[in-house]
Amino acid sequence: KLLPGEPNWANYIKGVVAFFKGTVKGFDAVVVSNVPLGGGLSSSASLEVSTYMFLEGLFGKTDCQKEKALICQRAEHEFANTPCGIMDQFISMMGTANNALLIDCLKLTSELIPMDIKDCVLLITNTNVKHNLGTSEYAVRRSQCEEAARILKVRSLRFATLEELNSTYTSANVTFWNVGTIS
């Protein structure tokens, strides 16, 4: 039975192996990456997704992309003890070239949106500023939104009206972000 331990980064791999839907036999692997850890580029999700795809190739078991993304998220929650959402795993698993991915985190659905990016330049820089979801404001913000939804007696803040949200800046901010994303 696999258990979390040291080094911490290996917990992402262990979690995926532990929750993989197929039979896993022993194997040797070397992990090489140039994605900066904690740099805001979904390094943990990319490690989880690549591990899952490696296991599929090695052991011949295939699941749907949504199921794989959810297993990777579970690995992060339970093995790395990191309270993350699903966006990073969804885009790492389902993203394709020349498309944006519209993700509905409540329904756990996604839609590829074609993008004409021929005249765009994408610049990714390593600022060496590190973040950690386990110690970031993510869990606090999520808890605040869940509490606001509970007070407003709605399943999610997306179902509250802007008038109902005027009581808290945080919950209104999240709703504005949701409205702006879909608009």
The reply to whether omega before 114 is within 30° of 0 (cis) is no
C-alpha gyration radius of the chain: 18
Could you confirm whether 28 is annotated as catalytic?
no
Any alpha helices (H) in the chain, and if so which ranges?
Answer: 10-19, 43-59, 65-78, 87-94, 138-152, 162-165, 169-182
CB atoms within 10 A of CB 76: 27
Residue in 63, 88, 104, 119 annotated catalytic: 88
> Catalytic residues, which ones?
88
